[in-house]
Chain A
């Protein structure tokens, strides 16, 4: 007995310790005992008693129900938002912690000792190891500095305003530098910023002796090196809970704000470069706003507090906007749209009466997004200043200096000074996208809006990175951006960014919908370290959202040669621009990019980016890491092959239509094969055969596999359904229909051979047609046959219609699959990379040994849902991003509680959605694990009815999550090992028996993830596929598939068999967890088992040794070895 119980335990343990492709142990959730919590985690239909449903309503209840109905689509969204706000709000306990820590810090700051006045450059007073957080370039300093206790310490920013949310709690503390430290001319030549940095260093030195402070680091505000910050965290276990940021600030009103007019110069060229310049000094708007920004935080806080006190839902509204921004990675880094801006925007809307004070947080969010979506701040500037004083700059003056303009209440400061046009456009794009799907009742608005993270690599179709940012310094010189560089105080990355963006925008033009760039994160460094150099920041990432119609065009047609714009065009494209004459007679400037296949064409944007950056900014190709197509060629490109198959099929279909002399006419010819909708992983290629390789069957002129040779090339039959006209002549009997169909196969074959001399082989179930190197398998269908199969006459003469498996299978093959094929074919016409994503997804499923659980049709539907319901993204326009989203869908969708609705051809209405959901909830327990509903299949989920099982689904979810974890860092980070195939190599150590196959007999060997070095001749010849006629080749002969089906038939009760259908040479076997349990002897359950007798009782257990030997007996000449990992199940 011991053996068996042990065996069972091991099986379970093994299931738990599955490992992912990277070797990182993942806590598999398979076969975990279902605890109480799990039990509860299923939606059940709500049952309310009659009395409860029909009791008289109270006024309060009525109001509540009405509000939910009118304001939100349903009460669900309202409740969801409330829950979300609860989740992100700070708890009272946390607030107490923060308050007490702030108090400690404030007290510590009050006791900062004074030091005597020294020269600015003299750092002798800074005794300890604390460094100054400032890059002193140029080194020359004038002026005096003195460390002194702060004039005041105040809370500013989101925390006192109540808009601070989890995670990443930051509390801002403004430390006012006393006036005696400053001098009147300090705003010039970075003197004040340097003093501020010195002051911070002084504070850091003083605080370093304090025990309550856990860690101290420097950072800078929104990546602006002129504005360093000191980050403090409490000591002890609370250290990671929140961060206090110390800002050193100017005393309010110390400088006149008019001195920071965006057109004024506050950094002298002579001081900065050491050279005399005769020109008028260039304006330094960015420098000006960075100094000015330091005078205003308290004023801003007062302003916002006043607004917030009027509007009760202000804080919650801002919190929602912040969550929205955060999910889109817009709230952090240089030039971000941060929470402060969100508050200011909302304040603006309130002041303009675009929203009113009584609105709920939900309405505030909605109106803010609407405002952002419809207002282009890069075109029209807005201001919060009611009555700006006369010295304040005018809006056009702001617009001259900055790309995005949003003026603060004082009228002097542009709040969006650092923001690039592209970032704002991204905000706008996101807002309008959000508005679109918010109103769509069929989308889970809440989830798409606030819960789904949108990292760059999953949002953009193509991404590329600039690797060696130091090269940008040279680019600055080339573009003569010295004064801009001075304005940005030497930060060449920030200086170059707008120029690179506008260059790319110009060059990519129509091809892209949106150009985005990563916001470089705020650097952080310890107080003992020198500040990092500008080049030390992580690579800049750019994202392109492509327009599928234009993105892949190889021709860039410019203006006519004689038009004034031609010069501009030539300047942009440089030597690539040529004069070309077009078919319409026009002679225009044009650029022609190289690209033959669809895969190459998809990479035209890459050629453009490389060319423009090299030409205009001297950035060599080696510095641009373009990761748009890292995964595109994993399963071969295949688009052209698919097209050829479809063309050949169209031809066949026409010929079938035109056949004359059939007793009944053909009513429809439909494709029912993935290759006919561009989603076949390896589309069939036209083949020319070497007859000498095969054996021959003389009488039927057919080729046969020959003994002793490698397995012949696998020719996959392409299924075509040929519907015949309905007529009274069809018999009303299932067997007779089968015979008649066979007769049709015969006569179709005969006619095709006679008229077009194709080689045909009729069978009772189908007709194989060998045409131009492709094998088509024509099934004749009669539309009433499923009905006939369902009907039976009962003993009392009553005609009973009962659904049965045979009828369903037939309907699936002759009705549903052709329909799906044509619908998805249509989808491919709309989205050119649909097929490529499907192929990539199915290749992954195959490689992870899941393709027998998530079948082709189901996988295609999953991918189709990405294109039809992309919210919150846009429909993918590159295979890579589509694949990433496929993995994400598989891993994060709540399969247990939600049906995945794929609205093909938009045939489903919102009411249908509700029906589908209700039906689903009502019948959850009896429905498939993975439920996919389509317009033609709302209740059954035809394609996932049999598989996957719960366990396999869990495994698929886990593998998808792990693959994402491996792939995404690779795309983000160029320093990691770049091998996307890692995600395609399944871990095999989780299996109990491995059956290694002889590569020679695996016909699809070439398709393996890592194709083998040895190539076997498989009876094909190079060259174009032969003329019609010739012998019938070996069709649909795949020993691996035959072996697998034999294994599953024989041992399916005991074990699961996995194999990569695309050239896998290993069959992995997993004993079912219950397989080794002895069961009482029964004549019906004795397959492959042996009986053990104990006393009077006979029990049977699997005869494992014999089964393992059967593996090699049944796969004779195909199996190389059977590796039984007996340590896993101890025989």
Chain B
């Protein structure tokens, strides 16, 4: 099932348009079928300074769901030492959470095919991986390092889902103290700023541009809307209806228009039902 051009002989790497190299992947030595991984060096300038260094990161597409970080790291370590493996649902910049959450509180990850960013220690490994012949498949689960799937995996998952209350308590406490600290800090900052804006002994106020985000409470969109509506209602209350003749005439007109509209709607409904033969009582 060689997907690609015939000019690559056996034992050659296979490069498809877009610059991706094709790697084959088998679940175990006995497997008959292969998944295809598409790998390429990761080259996004913006991310150069993050955890995805420019020349050492391999971008891998189509990683099967049973390959965890450890498994991917294991498979690719044949091309050189792996520093880190990052799995994500779709390619793109990694979102770094503001606060570091403990594992317990991280939302469950979606299973499925993923993309991986593998950071090697040496840039050479990238080329090695890319030139790996596509018809020598990599094997996921070997006898030495079996990958558990199915029942075994779920049982393991269940076992891991049991959290000791003490540990949970510890995590919660740690987070809450940290949270309180942060909150306190924030409040202090706000207080300081408020302080700055107060009159001093001589009655002077220091006027600064100030940071918009530091107001005591952010004014909300909903509140804005509310005040607007209040205004409109107020206006309406003052209005007199059916005072002038033209107003009266208008209401009548509206009424007839209403009936007309309803009539048209009904007519449409009927014609639709007629088209569906909905009037035949048998």
Binds A, one of B125-133, B218-226, B228-236: B218-226
- Bound-state CA distance A743–B170 (Å) is 10
Give the chain B neighbours of A74 by CB distance below 8 A. 262, 266
Whether A1127 is near chain B, meaning CB under 8 Å from some CB there, is no
A749 at the interface (CB under 8 A from B): yes
Q: List, in ascending order, chain B residues with CB within 8 A of A1089's CB.
A: 62
User: Which residues of the other chain, B, contact A1096 by a CB distance below 8 angstroms?
Assistant: 17
Tell me if A739 and B175 are in contact (CB < 8 A). Answer: yes
Do the beta carbons of B275 and A37 come within 8 Å of each other? yes
Q: Complex Cα distance A700/B259, Å?
A: 71
CB distance from B189 to the nearest CB of A (A): 15
Q: Say yes or no: A1050 contacts B65, CB within 8 Å.
A: yes
CB within 8 Å for A1116 and B150 given contacts A53-B260, A1037-B158: yes
Bound complex: CA A48 to CA B263 (Å): 11
Q: Are A68 and B220 in contact (CB under 8 A)?
A: no
Partner of A75 from B176, B263, B276 at Cβ < 8 Å: B263
Q: B16–A1093 contact, CB under 8 A?
A: yes
- Cβ of B215 within 8 Å of any chain A Cβ, yes or no, is yes
Q: Which residues of B contact A326 (CB under 8 A)?
A: 281-282
A1110 CB contact (under 8 Å) in B3, B64, B153: B64
Q: Are A733 and B264 in contact, with the CB atoms below 8 A?
A: no
Q: Which residues from chain A contact B276 at a C-beta distance below 8 Å? A: 41
Whether the pair A1117, B275 counts as a contact (CB closer than 8 A) is no
CB < 8 Å neighbour of A742 from B153, B172, B272: B172
In Å, the complex CA distance between A87 and B62 comes to: 60
B33 touches A1105 (CB 8 A): yes
* Contact A1113/B281 with A739-B175, A1103-B35, A1103-B36 known, Cβ cut-off 8 Å: no
Binary flags per residue of A83-101, CB closer than 8 Å to B gives 1, else 0: 1101110000000000000
Does any Cβ of A come within 8 Å of B105's Cβ? yes
Complex interface: chain B residues within 8 A of A1119 (CB): 150
Using a Cβ–Cβ cut-off of 8 Å, how many residues does chain B contribute to the interface with A? 89
Within 8 A of B (CB), among A536-560: none
Residues of B within 8 A of A65 (CB): 256, 259-260, 263
Chain B CB within 8 A of A427 CB: no
Chain B residue at minimal CB-CB distance from A806 = B107
| The residue from A53, A749, A1037, A1090 contacting B154, defined by CB atoms under 8 A apart | A1037
CB atoms of A1113 and B66 under 8 A apart? yes
> What is the 8 Å Cβ interface bit string for chain A, positions 1037-1066, against chain B (1 contact, 0 not)?
101001101100110100000000000000
B10 within 8 A of A: no
Q: Nearest CB to that of B28 among chain A residues?
A: A1113
Q: A83-B274, A705-B155, A1037-B158 are in contact. Are A1093 and B279 (CB under 8 A)?
A: no
Residues on the A chain within 8 Å of B273, using CB: 80, 83
Q: In the docked arrangement, what's the CA distance between A86 and B271, Å?
A: 13
Assess the A76–B27 pair: CB atoms within 8 A: no
Stretch from A19-27, A756-764, A951-959, A1017-1025 contacting the other chain: A756-764
- Which A residues lie within 8 Å of B27 (CB)? 1109-1110, 1113
**Beyond A736-B179, A1093-B17, is A1042–B105 a contact (Cβ under 8 Å)?**
no
- Judged by a CB distance under 8 angstroms, whether A1081 is at the interface is yes
Q: Are A797 and B213 interface neighbours, CB within 8 A?
A: yes
A75-B262, A1106-B35 as given contacts; A799 in contact with B149, CB under 8 Å: no
Q: Does chain A have a CB within 8 A of B165?
A: yes
- Contact between chains at B150 and A46 (CB < 8 Å): no
Contact in complex: B259, A1083 (CB < 8 Å): no
Does A1087 make an interface contact (CB < 8 A)?
yes
Tell me whether A739 and B176 are in contact in the complex, defined as CB-CB below 8 angstroms, given that A76-B269, A1084-B91 are known contacts. Answer: yes
User: Quick check: is A474 within 8 A (CB to CB) of the other chain?
Assistant: no
Within 8 A of B (CB), among A797-836: 797-801
Q: What 0/1 pattern do residues 32 to 53 of B give for CB contact below 8 A with A? A: 1111101000000000000000
Write out, one digit per residue, whether chain B residues 89-103 have a CB within 8 A of any chain A CB (1) or not (0). 011000000010100
Q: How far is the CA of A965 from the CA of B152 in the complex (A)?
A: 45
Q: Is A610 an interface residue when CB atoms closer than 8 A count as contact?
A: no
Q: Is B265's beta carbon under 8 Å from chain A? A: yes
Contact between A80 and B17, CB atoms less than 8 A apart:
no
A450 to B104, CA, bound (A): 61
Closest beta carbon of chain A to B100's beta carbon, Å: 11
**B interface footprint on A1092-1129 (CB within 8 Å = 1, 0 otherwise):** 11001110000101101110011111110000000000
Contact flag A46-B35 (CB < 8 Å), given A83-B274, A1110-B64: no
Are the CB atoms of A84 and B61 closer together than 8 Å? no
Q: Does chain B have a CB within 8 A of A442?
A: no
Q: Which residue of A lies closest to B105 (CB)?
A: A764
| Cross-chain contact B35 with A764 (CB below 8 angstroms) | no
Known: A739-B176, A1086-B61. A53 touches B152 (CB 8 A): no
Partner of B272, one of A166, A704, A897, A1117: A897
A761 to B65, CA, bound (A): 30
**With A65-B259, A801-B221, A1049-B111 as given contacts, are A1086 and B152 in contact (CB-CB < 8 Å)?**
no
A746–B152 CA distance with the chains assembled, in angstroms:
29
- Please report the C-alpha to C-alpha distance between residue A740 and residue B176 in the assembled complex, in whole angstroms: 8
Residues in chain A near residue B275, CB distance under 8 A: 37, 40-41
- How many angstroms between the C-alpha atoms of A1034 and B157 in the bound complex? 12
Query: Known contacts being A83-B273, A798-B218, is A1106 close to B151, with CB within 8 Å?
Result: no
Query: Does B245 sit within 8 A of A, measured CB to CB?
Result: no
Any B CB within 8 A of the CB of A707? yes
Contacts of B104 in A (CB 8 A): 764
Residue interface bits A734-758, CB-to-B below 8 A is 1, else 0: 0110111011001001100000000
Q: How far is the CB of A70 from chain B (nearest CB, A)?
A: 11
Chain B residue at minimal CB-CB distance from A1092? B3
Interfacial chain B residues near A83, Cβ < 8 Å: 270, 273-274, 279
CB-defined contacts of A697 to chain B, threshold 8 Å: 159, 162
B79: Cβ under 8 A from any A Cβ: no
Contact partners of A1043 in chain B: CB under 8 A: 150, 154
Q: B152 and A1117: CB pair below 8 A?
A: yes
What B residues does A1046 contact at CB under 8 A?
65, 111
Shortest A874–chain B CB gap in Å is 21
* Closest Cβ neighbor of B175 among chain A residues: A739
Q: Is the CB of B266 within 8 A of A702?
A: no
B207 adjacent to chain A (CB < 8 Å): no
- In the assembled complex, which residues on chain A have CB atoms less than 8 Å from the CB atom of B62? 1086-1089
Whether A798 and B220, one on each chain, are in contact in the complex, defined by CB atoms closer than 8 angstroms, is yes
Contact: A84 with B279, CB < 8 Å? yes
B35 touching A1034, Cβ below 8 Å: no
Q: Are A57 and B65 in contact (CB under 8 A)?
A: no
B112 lies within 8 A of chain A by Cβ? yes
Query: Does A1050 lie within 8 Å of B111, measured CB to CB?
Result: yes
Distance in angstroms between the alpha carbons of A736 and B150 in the assembled complex: 35
A450 to B278, CA, bound (A): 11
Give 30 A-B contacts (CB < 8 Å), ordered by A residue: A40-B272, A41-B276, A52-B260, A74-B266, A76-B270, A83-B270, A87-B280, A88-B281, A327-B281, A697-B162, A704-B158, A705-B158, A731-B183, A735-B101, A739-B171, A742-B105, A791-B220, A793-B218, A799-B218, A897-B272, A1039-B150, A1042-B157, A1043-B154, A1045-B111, A1049-B111, A1091-B16, A1092-B3, A1097-B17, A1113-B27, A1119-B150
Closest 5 CB pairs of A and B: A1116-B150, A799-B220, A1087-B113, A1117-B151, A53-B257
**Which residues of B line the A interface, CB within 8 A?**
1, 3-5, 16-18, 20, 22, 27, 31-36, 38, 61-62, 64-66, 90-91, 99, 101, 104-105, 110-113, 115, 149-155, 157-159, 161-165, 168-169, 171-172, 175-176, 179, 183, 212-213, 215, 218-222, 253, 256-257, 259-270, 272-276, 278-282
A-side residues, CB < 8 A to B, are 37, 40-41, 43-44, 46, 48, 52-54, 57, 62, 65, 68-69, 74-76, 79-80, 83-84, 86-88, 166-167, 323, 326-327, 450-451, 697, 699-700, 702, 704-705, 707, 711, 731, 733, 735-736, 738-740, 742-743, 746, 749-750, 761-764, 791, 793, 796-801, 897, 1001, 1034, 1037, 1039, 1042-1043, 1045-1046, 1049-1050, 1052, 1081, 1083-1084, 1086-1093, 1096-1098, 1103, 1105-1106, 1108-1110, 1113-1119
